[in-house]
Amino acid sequence: MIRIQARTEPSSIMKVASPLIAIVLTLIFGCILFSALNKNPFEALHVLLIAPLSDMYNIGEMLVKMSPLLFCAVGLSLCYRANMWNIGAEGQLLAGALGGSAVALLFIDSTSVFALPLTLIAGIISGMLWSAVPTYLKLRFNSNLILTTIMFNYIALYLLIWAVNGPLRDPDGYGFPESAMFSDSTTLPILLEGSRIHLGILFAVISAFVGWFILSKTHLGFQIRVFGADEPAAKYAGFSGKKLSWFVMLFSGALAGFAGVCEVTGPIGQLVPNVSPGYGYSAIIVAYLGRLHPLGAIVAAIFLAVLYMGGDLAQIQMGIPVAVVGMFQGVLLFFLLACDFFIRNRLTFNNQVTN
Amino acid sequence: MDADLIVLVLFAAIKTGTPLLLIALGEVICEKSGILNLGQEGMMLMGAVVGFIAAYSTGNAGFGVLAAMLMGSFMSLIFGVLVLHLGANQVATGLALTIFGTGLSAFIGSDFVGHTVQGFQPIAIPLLSKIPYLGEILFNHDILVYLSFVLAVIIAYVANKTRIGLVLKAVGENPHAANAIGIKVLRVRYLAIMFGGAMTGLAGSYMSLVYTPMWAENMTAGRGWIALALVVFASWRVGRIMLGAYLFGFASIMHLVLQGLGVDISSNLLAMMPYVATVIVMVIISADQFKEKLLAPRSLGKPFDPRHMA
Amino acid sequence: MAETLKKRHLIPRIELANITKQYPGCLANDNVSLTLMPGEIHALLGENGAGKSTLVKTIYGVVAPDSGDIIWDGKAVEIKSPSIARDLGIGMVFQHFSLFETLTVSQNIELCLSKKQLIAIGDLAKKITELSKEYGLDVNPNRYVHSLSIGERQRVEIMRCLVQSVKLLILDEPTSVLTPQEVSGLFEVLRTLAKEGCSILFISHKLHEVTEICQQATILRGGKVVDTCEPSKETPASIAKMMVGDLAEQDAGYSKKVGTHTVFEAKSLTLPAKHPFGTSLKNINFDLKAGEILGIAGVAGNGQDELMAIISGEDDRNVNNTLTFLSQSIGNLSAGGRRKLGMAYVPEERLGRGAVPDMSLTENTLLTHSEGFVKNGLVQWQSLKNYANTLISHYKIKCHGEFSEAKSLSGGNLQKFIMGREIGQNPKVLICAHPTWGVDVGAALAIHQALLELRDQGAAILLVSEDIDELFLLADRMGAVCDGYLSPVIKTEDATIDQIGQWMAGTFIDTSSQHPEEAIA
């Protein structure tokens, strides 16, 4: 008979193995699903996971998708470590794209070297503003952060749609809901000729290292971890919950805003209504899959970016609806949460039960 | 504004508020038992798509509703196992449920986009619907709206006047004490979670069978989240949930009213109204921390594992 | 009396035979056997962690034993759930009450009754009122539990057992939350019940109470029955020896000191409750001198938590001009700011407040002790590790190493760690709440000695405890809190248990609530 037994010490092996097992289980789930749909499961998995890494062009595209996921996930990792349930990365990303675009369009005829930095800063500040409001409402009025950040996602989306239909619409764009294409002075430089690998990707990776440094090396990071793991202890120690909340929320808003402005000044090159296919929501999965560890988020963001790429390819090559990506993300998080059970518990078999 | 317009607006507010009411009625029971299920949006979408497919394939909207409720329960059961038996974080699991439901509903619904079904038709209740104004506002709806009236009364009664309500409240306040006096905490919570799921599934089918009636990706547009805010707004009291649902319903159709009145504001800005209204309401309601602590189920969102009790 | 009862009823009320229960990493009950006759008051004694609570929860059906038998009125039974236990006639009063604060008294009692029992009773509120009169319990069925005092809540728990005609009543440390006067009231009720033939199983570690009321005693140590005795034939000292074994050192009397200059002062501290079920503080005045221990007695929930929180700054409301530290007003300083001035704090909750359960001892050292270990915002992890190891060896803390998670330590060892960490910051004022609850005798002794050593070095110590004996042992001056009021503070030599007990019950409030300090003069 199999029994569940609580471990006396949490398993450090399972802490690392749990996301890997979850990924394997998700793939098995995928095989079963594709078989049920009369698609060759191995072909489907190949298209989903291997094809996106098959050549340099695809790897470049994968990195383009990884960048916003990573930016957002690093910020969310810090938020969730501090027990601040910020679900608003999507809205903060959109706000960053919107704010950045508004400034970029001012420089449409400019060749100034300050154009790009100003645009990026505008994006970052917009993202911070978008996370600052729910933070203020939580700290001042005790309103539920999850719900306000979600609402702000919707508000940002409609604001963006309004902007591309109104003030920011390209006057020569035949009425399409798009802004004009940005000038070269407000476009992120390409790092690798012939690909779309842009400077933003480098910033995203740097942000992960910054996040890691803060969390594990600084007293501030320690306070964030205590605040999230055990709020009464943080209060007892005299850490200022308000300051920590502000820090993680603004940090994550800044990174999400950065992600947004990098999208419009990088691979897209203009403001469009569908800046993000839900990067801000997927980043929640990335953060969890990376164990709320900023460096873990790099690996996790690559995995999800591959899945995004694969989803596009699967739709083109095999006629599998692209929505399969969203479903896989949900399943992945389910399996991850289930596997985490075995960090603190283990299965024992009757003949092995000893004291 | 003339009387006819007011009647029309109030009628529409009830119609729009009904899915919010259904979800919130289920979630309030779930939260009274101490469980916060943030997966409403995902369950609602699954209810909508499954309800639509079932009604579309059988030609019977009743089957659609039933299928949606079963689907909602099943989805919430996944949540229940993860949260109650595997000790997963309620917030994270709820988010996973929403992400999963959003993806899966789009996936299985992709072949049904653009189709329509024969949904429920309005039924005028004899006599009552003849009452001037009130009759038109309240008694000229489809069967699901009437069902929501009945359910609200039943749930208010069960929650406040019966032993079931007492047990729910006990489990939500102090699961350890409830366990110690022999209440099966996990069983109560499973039932509460699955009841909530069924109600959300029902709300989903209302969207795809009555409200639109068709299926489109992400058609619930955040209603699952707004309903969660509604429970907080109502301070976990059923009467106020009903009032709140129609207020939110009103906020959602405000743009139609304003356009009807000839106000010239971009429809994209007006579409933000329900979300902005939700934020404002939450700020007003939650500001009184003292009151919220008094009214909220005390173990809400906190894990409980009877096996770890020494 | 026990002898005659045993002759009349030859069948025991309950017999436990070889009960064994294994928890991960701990054998809670090891072949425990125990017999109770009808009408017998039986003490179950042992140190914290000896397995008493597990054993009574087994009887009440909350915990399933791994092996062993229970024989009830001569028949073997399997008690799978509390409702089965209640059907048999077993009632239990829990140490941490199993009451629901947002429900009324009668709703709380109703939850424990089956439909059948409810129908049999008919009007529950009337029945409660009747039983109240019969046993002198004074329980109002319509009040909400959150409005009741701790003593009243205990009476509700007892009432919950009485409404279903109880044959075996289990009480888990019932007196630890009562004033001395309330304890005698409880004993009256227990004696009445016993006369009617109800068996009573009484868990305690207050030995003089056991010798006063119990006819038989079973002593547990490390999950095993190590001895049985008739308490009336023993002394508290001889029973203590059975509980802890011969080797344990005991606290001896300590000398009292007189403080020098005032270090900390609270003046007319009045503060409304922050939480709906909290206590408001009402005009609290006291001064704390260097080189003394000031003890504050009181039953839990009378404002101790609120007082601690406002003194430490965890309650961040501005109470300027009411709190003074070395003639500096600190009412507007944050908790961190007060720490920097030289205030340290040992909270009641060790795990989850005093230490982060999932963090290592190194990290938990940094929790409050950052001075010297943070340079330019960066943590000096290596020197911090070394320091954590110093603490571990100096206070003889049993653990795998500085990397051990706080939650893997026993209560006593964790408390020694927290105490060492706070003392290691050379505080001018140490605020210390319930330092030895749930701690084994050896650790309690070490903690007492550490506190006295700190006092003798000139620190001012505020000691809040529910354990009157501990306060008399350690405090140089003492007072009591009741309902958010603080009694006069007097020298321990001048205090009597009876006096402090009356203050805990609030006798000082009406006569001298305006200026309690002057009233004693």
Backbone angles phi, psi at A234, to 5 degrees: -65, -40
Ordered DSSP codes for C244-277:
H-SS-------------SEEEEEEEEEE--SSTT
pLDDT for position A354: 42
Residues of C with CB under 8 A from a CB of A: 22, 24-25, 27, 312-314, 334-339, 345, 347, 349, 352-359, 363, 366-368, 370, 374, 377-379, 405, 408
Using alpha carbons, list the distances in angstroms from residue C457 to A336, B40, B166, C338.
Answer: 54, 60, 56, 21
Best of A14, A94, A139, A154 to disrupt the B interface (most B CBs within 10 Å) is: A154
Chain B residue with minimal CA distance to C146? B294
Average pLDDT over every residue of C266-295: 90
Average pLDDT over every residue of C342-354: 91
Task: Please state the domain count of chain A.
Answer: 1
Average pLDDT over every residue of B289-304: 78
Give domain status of residue A56, yes or no. Answer: no
Give domain status of residue C323, yes or no. Answer: yes
Vertex A272: Cα angle to B46 and A174 (nearest 5)? 120
Chain A residue with minimal CA distance to C357? A230
Sign of the CA dihedral A40, A42, A43, A47? Answer: positive
Q: At what angle do helices A56-81 and A241-263 cross, to 10 degrees?
A: 160
Are residues C271 and C192 part of one domain?
no
pLDDT for position A55: 86
pLDDT band at C510 (very low <50, low <70, confident <90, very high): low
Tens digits of residue pLDDT in C93-117: 887 778 998 899 999 999 988 888 8
Are residues C123 and C178 part of one domain?
yes
- Contact check, Cβ <8 Å, C275/B163: no
Average pLDDT over every residue of C458-462: 95
pLDDT at A217 over 80: yes
Give domain status of residue C77, yes or no. Answer: yes
Give domain status of residue A324, yes or no. Answer: no
Give me the residues paired with residue C19 across strands: C32
C-alpha B77/C-alpha B80 separation (Å) is 5
Give domain status of residue A16, yes or no. Answer: no
pLDDT for position C40: 93
Are residues C309 and C234 part of one domain?
no
Which one of A225, A236, A355 has the shortest CB-CB distance to C22? A355
User: How close B232 gets to chain A, by Cα (Å)?
Assistant: 9
Ordered DSSP codes for C456-502:
HTT-EEEEE-S-HHHHHHH-SEEEEEETTEE---EEGGG--HHHHHH
pLDDT for position A33: 87
Q: Are B220 and B48 in contact (CB under 8 A)?
A: yes
pLDDT at C349 over 80: yes
C-alpha C357/C-alpha C350 separation (Å) is 9
Ordered DSSP codes for B81-122:
IIIIIS---HHHHHHHHHHHHHHHHHHHHTTTTT-B---PPP
Which chains touch B (3+ CB pairs under 8 A)?
A, C
Chain C residue with minimal CA distance to B173? C100
* Nearest C-alpha neighbor of C92 from the set C100, C105, C83, C80: C83
Q: What's at B223, amino acid-wise?
A: R
Which one of C25, C354, C366 has the shortest CB-CB distance to A8? C25
Phi-psi category of residue B87: left, alpha or beta, with phi > 0 → left and psi -120 to 50 → alpha: left
Are residues C462 and C436 part of one domain?
yes
Domain containing C15: what range? 2-244
Which chains touch A (3+ CB pairs under 8 A)?
B, C
- Contact check, Cβ <8 Å, B170/C111: yes
Domain containing A80: what range? 66-289
Among C191, C211, C244, identify where a domain stops.
C244
- CB-based contact, A24 to chain B, within 8 Å: no
Chain A residue with minimal CA distance to C421? A237
- Contact check, Cβ <8 Å, C111/B173: no
Token output for A128:
């911070």
Give domain status of residue A257, yes or no. Answer: yes
ipTM for the whole complex: 0.89
For residue C83, the chain B residues in CB contact (below 8 A) are 182
Give domain status of residue C148, yes or no. Answer: yes
pLDDT for position A355: 37
Locate all alpha helices (DSSP H) within C395-440, ordered by sequence: 411-423
pLDDT band at C172 (very low <50, low <70, confident <90, very high): confident
Are residues C306 and C232 part of one domain?
no
Q: Are A291 and A12 in contact (CB under 8 A)?
A: no
Q: Are B211 and B19 in contact (CB under 8 A)?
A: yes
Are residues C233 and C271 part of one domain?
no
- CB-based contact, B124 to chain C, within 8 Å: no
Give the B window 289-308 contacts with A, CB below 8 Å.
289, 292, 307-308
User: How close A261 gets to chain B, by Cα (Å)?
Assistant: 22
Average pLDDT over every residue of C54-76: 91
pLDDT for position B190: 97
Average pLDDT over every residue of C313-342: 89
Q: Which of C419-423, C464-468, C507-511 has the lowest mean pLDDT?
A: C507-511
- The total of other beta-carbon atoms located within 10 Å of residue A32's CB is 11
Best of A9, A236, A343 to disrupt the C interface (most C CBs within 10 Å) is: A236
Average pLDDT over every residue of A290-298: 94
Residues 6+ apart with CB under 8 A from B61: B55, B117, B118, B119, B120, B209
Give domain status of residue C389, yes or no. Answer: no
Are residues C317 and C203 part of one domain?
no
Are residues C164 and C213 part of one domain?
yes
Q: Which of A334-343, B195-204, C82-91, C431-440 has the lowest mean pLDDT?
A: C431-440
pLDDT for position C255: 85
CA atoms in the 13 A half-sphere facing the CB of B105: 32
Q: Are A2 and A327 in contact (CB under 8 A)?
A: no
pLDDT at C287 over 80: yes
Q: Any idea what the CATH number is for the domain that residue C276 is in?
A: 3.40.50.300
pLDDT for position C250: 61
Sign of the CA dihedral B172, B174, B176, B179? Answer: negative
Sign of the CA dihedral B91, B97, B98, B99? Answer: positive
- Contact check, Cβ <8 Å, A232/C349: yes
- The total of other beta-carbon atoms located within 10 Å of residue B118's CB is 12
Are residues C179 and C92 part of one domain?
yes
Task: Please state the domain count of chain C.
Answer: 2
- Contact check, Cβ <8 Å, C336/A222: no
pLDDT band at A297 (very low <50, low <70, confident <90, very high): very high
Vertex C96: Cα angle to C30 and C117 (nearest 5)? 90
Tens digits of residue pLDDT in B138-180: 888 889 999 999 999 999 999 999 999 999 999 999 998 998 8
List of domains in chain B:
3-122+134-303 (1.10.3470)
* Nearest C-alpha neighbor of B109 from the set B271, B223, B220: B220
Coil/strand/helix, residue A144: coil
* Nearest C-alpha neighbor of C487 from the set C298, C291, C300, C258: C298
pLDDT at C513 over 50: no
- Contact check, Cβ <8 Å, A239/C345: no
Please tell me the pTM assigned to this model: 0.89
Token output for C328:
């500096």
pLDDT for position C249: 58
Among C191, C209, C244, identify where a domain stops.
C244
Give me the residues paired with residue C323 across strands: C266
Longest distance between any two alpha carbons in chain B, whole Å = 67
Residue appearing with tokens 């000695």: C449
Residues 6+ apart with CB under 8 A from C515: none
Average pLDDT over every residue of A196-212: 95
End-to-end CA distance of chain A: 17
User: How close A187 gets to chain B, by Cα (Å)?
Assistant: 28
Which one of A141, A321, A341 has the shortest CB-CB distance to B286? A141
pLDDT for position A353: 43
What is the 3-state secondary structure of C310-346? HHHCCCCCCCCCCEEECCEECCCCCHHHHHHHCEEEE
Q: What's at B234, amino acid-wise?
A: A
Give me the residues paired with residue C435 across strands: none
Give domain status of residue A310, yes or no. Answer: no
Tens digits of residue pLDDT in B75-108: 999 999 999 989 899 999 999 999 999 999 999 9
Token output for C295:
């003890």
> What length does chain C have?
521
Average pLDDT over every residue of C274-283: 85
pLDDT for position C437: 81
Give me the residues paired with residue C429 across strands: C343, C460
- Contact check, Cβ <8 Å, A240/C366: no
Give domain status of residue A48, yes or no. Answer: no
Tens digits of residue pLDDT in A38-72: 888 888 888 888 888 888 888 999 999 999 999 99
- Contact check, Cβ <8 Å, C356/A226: yes
For residue C432, the chain A residues in CB contact (below 8 A) are none
Coil/strand/helix, residue C157: helix
Using alpha carbons, list the distances in angstroms from residue C267 to B144, C93, C283, C309, C411.
Answer: 64, 40, 8, 16, 35
* Nearest C-alpha neighbor of C454 from the set C431, C477, C438, C434: C431
pLDDT at C9 over 80: no
Chain B residue with minimal CA distance to C114? B163
Give domain status of residue A244, yes or no. Answer: yes
Are residues C237 and C289 part of one domain?
no
Are residues C281 and C143 part of one domain?
no
pLDDT at C252 over 70: no
C-alpha A70/C-alpha A283 separation (Å) is 7
Residue appearing with tokens 């009233």: C519
Residues 6+ apart with CB under 8 A from C79: C58, C59, C60, C61, C70, C85, C88, C90
Q: Are B160 and B237 in contact (CB under 8 A)?
A: no
- Contact check, Cβ <8 Å, C82/B170: no
> What length does chain A have?
355
Q: Tell me the range of A11-25, A242-256, B261-275, C244-258 where mean pLDDT is highest.
A: A242-256
C-alpha A87/C-alpha A134 separation (Å) is 11
- Percent of chain C, pLDDT > 90? 44
pLDDT for position B310: 36
For residue C22, the chain A residues in CB contact (below 8 A) are 355
C-alpha C314/C-alpha C296 separation (Å) is 19
Task: Round the average pLDDT of chain A to a whole number and report it.
Answer: 91
- Contact check, Cβ <8 Å, B88/A341: yes
C-alpha A287/C-alpha A302 separation (Å) is 12
C-alpha C36/C-alpha C11 separation (Å) is 10
- Percent of chain A, pLDDT > 70? 98
Give domain status of residue A195, yes or no. Answer: yes
Long-range contact set of residues A49-54: C-beta below 8 Å, sequence gap at least 24: A49/A306, A49/A307, A49/A310, A51/A309, A51/A310, A51/A313, A52/A305, A52/A306, A52/A309, A52/A310, A52/A313, A53/A306
Are residues C195 and C149 part of one domain?
yes
pLDDT for position C227: 87
- Percent of chain B, pLDDT > 70? 97
Vertex A300: Cα angle to A315 and C362 (nearest 5)? 165
pLDDT for position C25: 66
Q: What's at B273, amino acid-wise?
A: M
pLDDT at A2 over 80: no
